[in-house]
Amino acid sequence: MTAVRHSICYGEHRIEFAIRRRDRTTLEIAVEPDAAVVVTAPRDATLTAIEQKVRKRAAWIRRQQRYFLQFMPRTPERRYLSGETHLYLGRQYRLKVVPHIQATVKLVRGFIVVQTHWPQRSEVTRELVEAWYRDRARAKFAERLEVNLLRFPTPDDFRPAGLIVRQLHQRWGSMSPAARLMLNRRLIEAPIDAIDYVITHELCHMAVPHHGPAFFDLLNRVLPDWQLRKQRLEQRMA
């Protein structure tokens, strides 16, 4: 059944949440890594009862949201001019825009060199650079997926049905109910060990869809240093 959106007021704040009806006897509230609130409720639970439960847990919900919000990717404003620095796989590269009859983007000794017919048009440079990042992301993420699957005793049981690269605003990655792995395009700017953390984190959701103790037990087994990797991701990409 499709989730239904609802909200309540909590002091000066409005808490929005999705209600998912399931065949169960208890009501569960979860705050996802993108700060979204999901209520999984019995099919016969009334809206009044759900609202009361959310209000009762409102202080906890706000704490969880503040915790996750501090780690969300923040995209710095870019002008796409020569001399500007851009990240790729955790390293800083300077942008070098040069006139050329062929439009290409390539790495050359510490520079992201953009060859373009219109070097003065930053919007054209932006499109070229973003296309280059997307191509690099698809290739590198597919490569790292294969590496990280080997962390699991039975890799084929954790292989996603598909890999999607997309510009996301509130999370680094997600695993859909249909087992499709989605990764943030910006993740290609992060170090390899941070990319591996995000991929492995999402692969664990193939076995455990929530963030309860069973999830972290699995993550600790397959990637014991995940907290250090997560910290590096947050620091490098802030």
The pLDDT assigned to 72 comes to 60
Tokens of 217: 């037990």
Q: Each residue of 46-70: pLDDT tens digit?
A: 999 999 999 999 999 998 888 877 6
The pLDDT assigned to 2 comes to 59
Cβ neighbors of 130 (< 8 A, separation 6 or more) are 185
Q: Each residue of 96-114: pLDDT tens digit?
A: 999 999 999 999 988 999 9
Half-sphere exposure of 84 (CA within 13 A, CB side): 14
Give 28's strand partners.
Answer: 40
Q: Each residue of 112-162: pLDDT tens digit?
A: 999 999 999 999 999 999 999 999 999 999 999 999 999 999 999 999 999
Under the banding of pLDDT at 50, 70 and 90, the label for residue 235 is confident
Domains and CATH numbers, the chain: 4-69 (no CATH), 85-236 (3.30.2010.10)
Angle (nearest 5°) at CA 178 between 27 and 188? 105
